[in-house]
Structure 1
Amino acid sequence: MKHITSTAVAAGARGICAESVEQSLPGMGSISQQPVFRPVLRREIMAAVNTCSRDLGLRQGAVVVLDALLSCLPCQGADGREAPVAPSTLLTVYASNETLCFRAKGLTDRQLRRHLETLENAGLLRRRDSANGKRFPVMQHGKPVGAFGLDLSPLFARAGDLLALALRRREEAEELRGIRAQILRLRAACADLHLDDAQAAFVDCLRNLVRRASLTLVEARAALAQLTAVLSRDTALPVPETVARAASTTATPTEMLPKRVMGSLYSQTKG
């Protein structure tokens, strides 16, 4: 029979005799029960969460708390450098609220609890509560094999999907920056054209459109397609190939900016 030592933070320590950790302490986070995933560095998964925070429904406070939780994982290699998080890494964080508040840039205990609930609702965290609510590791042969606390297994189970989504969002952001620049350049080219009132109002409102922080890629593509159509009708110059390529996804005549967007922009222009 093996002896397993359980160390409770701020609650003393006691010995537990059992044939297996899983049987003696049901409900705890255990290395043997963690999901299989490709090893990933903490900074990589954190960057992915930062990029996808809107998709995950996370505000900055919850992202900061997740960063604090990740900083508690044992990821130091034998050479002292940071090692990737792997399925063999204990993913249940047993640090106290006081430690987490400190690492989360001085959040209050109440703020911490609220953000932990947000992370749990987002499917990135699972609570592993002990009978008395304390967080502590379970040691076997001097190494932690499980713990009661805050289990990050759900986050790492989704690591591959989050990394792929983050890459897609970064590519979309890069494309959006390019389309913004093209719209401003083509808008300037409309200054010498004789446009009707509707076209002039549309071209004028584009300045506000590209400055809007919430501008989506779909709206930007539609605006570029509409602006390209205005230029092609009123000039004999060929439309630049890069512009035509960017507008090709929304090149049908009936696809314009959403009415709610155009209505808002026209009202800003008149104001």
Structure 2
Amino acid sequence: MHTHMTTTPFGRRPMSLGQIASQMTAKAMPETAVVNKWETFKNIREARDQLGATDRSLAILNALLSFHRETQLSAEGTLVVWPSNEQLSARANGMPATTLRRHLAVLVECGLIIRRDSPNGKRYARKGRGGHIEQAYGFDLAPIVARAEEFEYLAEAVQAEKRALKVAKERLTLLRRDTLKMIDTGIDESVPGNWGRVQQQYQDIIARLPRTAPRMLVEEICDELQDLHDEVRDILESFIKTQNPDGNESHSGRHIQNSNTESLPESEYGFREKNEAGGSAGENDNVKSLPKRDLPFGIVLDACPNLQEWAAGGEIRHWRDFLATAEVLRPMLGISPSAWLEAKQAMGERHAAITLAAMNQRSEKINNAGGYLRSLTEKAQAGKFSTWPMIMALLNAELNASKIANTTGAKPRSEDQSRQYAVSDALLKSLERPKR
């Protein structure tokens, strides 16, 4: 006697292409396929969001699996179970009939089970001679066997995503702690810097973090916090180096301060004879100990506020504006195109522009800007020049001006009153040490 394997649902339930695809997958599974139903169910539960299943639908699937007597599901055996709604409801913790039907439909749509409805919609099995089941109508568990490898792969991917999210959250916690404590240290020790801007930047980054954030957003915020963390750390480390003349004798601020000599023609050789920049080659050997990271844009602007006077519109918003303003400033300082080109080739365009901005900030102490730039270019070519100490020296000069203003009651040199700094006793002692 021939039996027909039903492929469409009973009654008014519609047929979908997804249901046909599930049936095709089940039909194509190898005849030797065997899986442990509870291990596979564990993988399904882990990957339920990717499959579109719900917690209640998985409770029903768990109940359906319990109606299959064997722990191993085999393609060679019968994979159809036929419990009534009452039996299913009892094993699904008393789930109401309407809820039961709704979540059975979810399992079908997810491709986890296939409906094998009888002509009248009832679930039952017909047995032949010897008690062998000839035809069963109910729910076919074949997709669980056919898609077992897919479920295992999805479960591993979910676990990997959870681990990555955990690592990202740990990194976020550490970055938040380190950055905040370093900012507090900079403020407490009166390290030169625009700490108000740094604090606001930190708050802006953290404000983008929702209560429950996906991994991609957490990693994006971590990257931004890492940049801010590195910036703050560089400020603190560079400030420590500038307070230790023996450890960092390449203090470019001293070059600027000692360059108030007689005006010389912009001759490279004549300038080297006078050594307007000051400092021997030995004094610059410690440049390797300075930070390898580029100077943060905000720190450079804090150290060289006078550059904004030459900017188009009176505002410098990013490095592109900074470089364009340096090109405008160069002829104003009397620097020849050839000296400027050599500086950019030796230092790089950005560091050459930073050097020019620093020279402009202390222009009253430099009589021959072109010769001074050529001297720094030579040092850069020899790998004995860095813009880090130059910028930190300017920030220190602002700190000293604020200290004098606090002592005498006079106004600081800077007109920007928001850039005044408090000075700790320990910092004053370190600044008052004589330089060699």
Instruction: Tell me whether the two structures share a fold, i.e. TM-score over 0.5.
Output: yes
- 1:103-145 Cα offsets, whole Å, 9 max, x none, are 1111011111100111111122211111121211233432335
> Is residue 90–residue 146 contact of structure 1 (8 Å, CA) maintained in 2?
no
**Correspondent of 2:218 among 214, 220, 226:** 220
Which residue identity lines up with residue 233 of structure 1 in the other structure?
A: E
The structure-2 alpha-carbon separation of the partners of 1:181 and 1:145, relative to structure 1 and needing over 3 Å to count, comes to farther
> Is residue 137–residue 144 contact of structure 1 (8 Å, CA) maintained in 2?
yes
The structure-2 alpha-carbon separation of the partners of 1:139 and 1:33, relative to structure 1 and needing over 3 Å to count, comes to farther
- Aligned match of 2:55: 60
- Aligned match of 2:155: 166
- Aligned match of 1:24: 3
The structure-2 alpha-carbon separation of the partners of 1:38 and 1:173, relative to structure 1 and needing over 3 Å to count, comes to farther
**Correspondent of 1:199 among 185, 201, 204:** 201
DSSP 3-state at the match of 2:53: coil
- Aligned match of 1:250: none
The structure-2 alpha-carbon separation of the partners of 1:35 and 1:234, relative to structure 1 and needing over 3 Å to count, comes to same
Count of residue correspondences:
204
DSSP 3-state at the match of 2:78: coil
Query: 1:183 deviation in Å?
Result: 0.7
Q: Are 2:113 and 1:125 aligned?
A: yes
Which residue identity lines up with residue 93 of structure 1 in the other structure?
A: V
5 Å matches for 1:133-148? 133-140=121-128, 141-144=130-133, 146-148=135-137
- Aligned match of 1:153: 142
Cα-Cα RMSD: 2.7
DSSP 3-state at the match of 1:180: helix
- 1:214-239 Cα offsets, whole Å, 9 max, x none, are x222122212222211112221399x
The structure-2 alpha-carbon separation of the partners of 1:226 and 1:151, relative to structure 1 and needing over 3 Å to count, comes to same
DSSP 3-state at the match of 2:73: coil
Q: Which segments of 5 or more consecutive residues in structure 1 lack a partner in the other structure?
A: 1-17, 76-82, 239-271
* Stretch moving more, 165-174 or 38-47: 38-47
Q: TM-score, normalised by structure 1?
A: 0.67
- 1:51-109 Cα offsets, whole Å, 9 max, x none, are 1111122221111111111111121xxxxxxx322212321111111111111111011
> Is residue 125–residue 151 contact of structure 1 (8 Å, CA) maintained in 2?
yes
> Is residue 74–residue 90 contact of structure 1 (8 Å, CA) maintained in 2?
no
The structure-2 alpha-carbon separation of the partners of 1:87 and 1:145, relative to structure 1 and needing over 3 Å to count, comes to farther
> Is residue 187–residue 203 contact of structure 1 (8 Å, CA) maintained in 2?
no
- 1:125-182 Cα offsets, whole Å, 9 max, x none, are 2111111212112334323354110112223322111110111111110121121112
5 Å matches for 1:207-246? 209=210, 211-212=211-212, 215-236=213-234
Provide the rounded CA distance (Å) in 2 between the counterparts of 1:220 and 1:89. 48
Which residue identity lines up with residue 161 of structure 1 in the other structure?
A: E
Provide the rounded CA distance (Å) in 2 between the counterparts of 1:136 and 1:123. 22
Q: Are 2:108 and 1:113 aligned?
A: no
- Aligned match of 1:262: none
Provide the rounded CA distance (Å) in 2 between the counterparts of 1:38 and 1:89. 10
The structure-2 alpha-carbon separation of the partners of 1:204 and 1:221, relative to structure 1 and needing over 3 Å to count, comes to closer
Considering Cα pairs closer than 8 Å and 6+ residues apart, tell me whether 1 or 2 has the greater RCO: 1
Provide the rounded CA distance (Å) in 2 between the counterparts of 1:204 and 1:55. 29
Which residue identity lines up with residue 61 of structure 2 in the other structure?
A: L
> Is residue 205–residue 221 contact of structure 2 (8 Å, CA) maintained in 1?
no
The structure-2 alpha-carbon separation of the partners of 1:89 and 1:217, relative to structure 1 and needing over 3 Å to count, comes to farther
The structure-2 alpha-carbon separation of the partners of 1:129 and 1:179, relative to structure 1 and needing over 3 Å to count, comes to same
Which residue identity lines up with residue 66 of structure 1 in the other structure?
A: L
- Aligned match of 1:8: none
- Aligned match of 1:96: 84
Q: Are 2:86 and 1:86 aligned?
A: no
5 Å matches for 1:67-78? 67-75=62-70
Provide the rounded CA distance (Å) in 2 between the counterparts of 1:158 and 1:33. 11
* Higher gyration radius (CA): 2
DSSP 3-state at the match of 1:90: coil
